[in-house]
Structure 1
Amino acid sequence: MNDHYADPLREAAAQGVERTVQMTSVAAAAGQVLTQIKAQRLREQTEQDRQATAALRSRQQVAYQAARLQWAPASDPRWLRAADFVGTSRAWGAAVPYAPSDPAAERARLRCEQRLRELHPYGMSRYDRLRAEGVEPVEAMRKAAPFFARVPNPRTGHPAPARKELSTAVTLGTQDFPVPIKDAIRTTDAPQAAQAARPTQRPARNLKP
Structure 2
Amino acid sequence: MRATGGEAGRETRRPGPTRESRYAYWMSHASGQANDALLAKILSSRESGGSALPPNLGLEPSEWQAMLSTHFPSAVPLTTPVPLGADELADEARVVERDDLVALLLAGRAGRCASEGWLAIIVAAACMGGDHLWQDLGLWSREDLSRLMNGNFPALAQRNDRDMKWKRFLYRQLCQAEGVYVCRSPSCEVCVDYARCFGAED
TM-score (norm 1): 0.25
Name the TM-score, length of structure 2 as normaliser.
Answer: 0.26
Larger-Rg structure:
1
Of Structure 1 and Structure 2, which has the larger fraction of its residues in helix? 1
